Structure 1
Amino acid sequence: MFRLLFDKEIYTEVVQKKIPEARRFLWIGTADIKDMYIHKSGSMVPFLELLSELIRKKVQIRLIHAKEPGPAFRDDFDKYPLLFSGLERVLCPRVHFKTVIIDGKIAYSGSANLTGAGMGAKNEANRNFETGFLTDDIALVEPLMNQFDQLWAGIPCKKCGRKEFCKDRPV
């Protein structure tokens, strides 16, 4: 499967359909992260609630992002104690890729940051114009996983010229 996604399709296909199906692991890479809200049981709830539910189901979640989220995200984060120890996180100021990897079988990659405007959760008048693809083709999923995993492992950190802005890597 290879699907090109635009605008709200990213939210519908990735956030609403695929991410909740994660059973083993969920990796998210994004430059920007904000207090995104999602539809659940007829109301809007923080995306972090979904992540907390996945952690409760023993799904391993890793998040790489480029900058600290704002106060609204932090306030939402504090409402879900499972995130404190269950959400693994690395801050890397050089990250600009936007990737979601689910169980090593499905991947999204595209322009959308993990924000309501980026992922399409906002209404039509306020969301960004975004493009990405969703695939289960291992020839595409594997290199996306490799990029994420190498950064997670800190492989590029030794030669990085932006170490002074990086709080998570001691290299």
Structure 2
Amino acid sequence: METAYIANEAHYDAVLCKALDARRTLWIGTADLKDLHVKTGGSSVPFLQALAERIEGGLEVRLIHAKEPGPRFREDFDRFPALATHLERIFCPRVHFKLIIIDCKTAYIGSANLTGAGLGMKSPRRRNFEAGVLTDDPALVEQAVQQFDDLWIGTPCQTCGRTEYCTDRIEGD
């Protein structure tokens, strides 16, 4: 069992690159979505391109986010058809957690959004100050999975109080 504290630019290697190594499932919960890039070989590509390639290879990805993505993220999203057809997505304006759950065995629980300044490969001079924990401790992973899954299936929707802002509300609530 391993639990590690992750700070600032260490998020890129410890969290984002590990997320792209998921084998079966990748669940991402974030308040904000913006354009970010990852290294592949000797170049840099949009994270969404790398994610689309993983989805085409069979990776199941779920995304919960609170804000509509930035324009460059949206442009990249539209360039990769696998995202439109196979990326499962829910918009929930109350999400503020930042969770990345890899194969339901490893969880990142922290402050970093799915943005270049949060998880991406921006220089230390242009990054946010971030903190989080990456763990494979079954008790912590189980709690992160439970929180993500409860929101995914709509458990809090009936008592949320913000349903007028929610475009992905679970039917019947």
| TM-score under structure 1 length normalisation | 0.96
Q: Distance in 2 between the 1:67 and 1:76 partners?
A: 17
Pairing 1:113-124 to 2, within 5 Å after superposition: 113-124=113-124
Pairing 1:19-38 to 2, within 5 Å after superposition: 19-38=19-38
CA RMSD of aligned residues (A): 0.9
Tell me how far 1:38 sits from its aligned partner. 1.3
1:100-124 CA-partner distances (Å, limit 9, x unpaired)? 0000111101000000001142111
Q: Distance in 1 between the 2:111 and 2:20 partners?
A: 21
* Misfit runs of 4+, over 3 Å: none
Q: Distance in 2 between the 1:144 and 1:15 partners?
A: 17
The corresponding residue for 1:12 is 13
Determine if contact 1:120/1:128 at 8 Å carries over to the other structure. no
Q: Distance in 1 between the 2:62 and 2:158 partners?
A: 21
Gaps of 5+ in 1: none
SS in 2 for 1:154: coil
Does residue 1:66 correspond to 2:73, yes or no?
Answer: no
Tell me how far 1:83 sits from its aligned partner. 0.6
Determine if contact 1:35/1:72 at 8 Å carries over to the other structure. yes
Determine if contact 1:7/1:120 at 8 Å carries over to the other structure. no
| TM-score under structure 2 length normalisation | 0.95
Determine if contact 2:66/2:95 at 8 Å carries over to the other structure. yes
Q: Distance in 2 between the 1:133 and 1:125 partners?
A: 22
SS in 2 for 1:116: coil
Percent of aligned positions that are identical? 56
The corresponding residue for 2:95 is 95
The corresponding residue for 2:164 is 164
The corresponding residue for 2:51 is 51
Does residue 1:2 correspond to 2:39, yes or no?
Answer: no
Q: Distance in 2 between the 1:121 and 1:92 partners?
A: 26
State the one-letter code of the partner of 1:114.
Answer: L
State the one-letter code of the partner of 1:3.
Answer: A
Determine if contact 1:5/1:133 at 8 Å carries over to the other structure. yes
Determine if contact 1:9/1:120 at 8 Å carries over to the other structure. no
Gaps of 5+ in 2: none
Tell me how far 1:20 sits from its aligned partner. 2.2
Query: Matched residue pairs, number?
Result: 170
Pairing 1:122-133 to 2, within 5 Å after superposition: 122-133=122-133
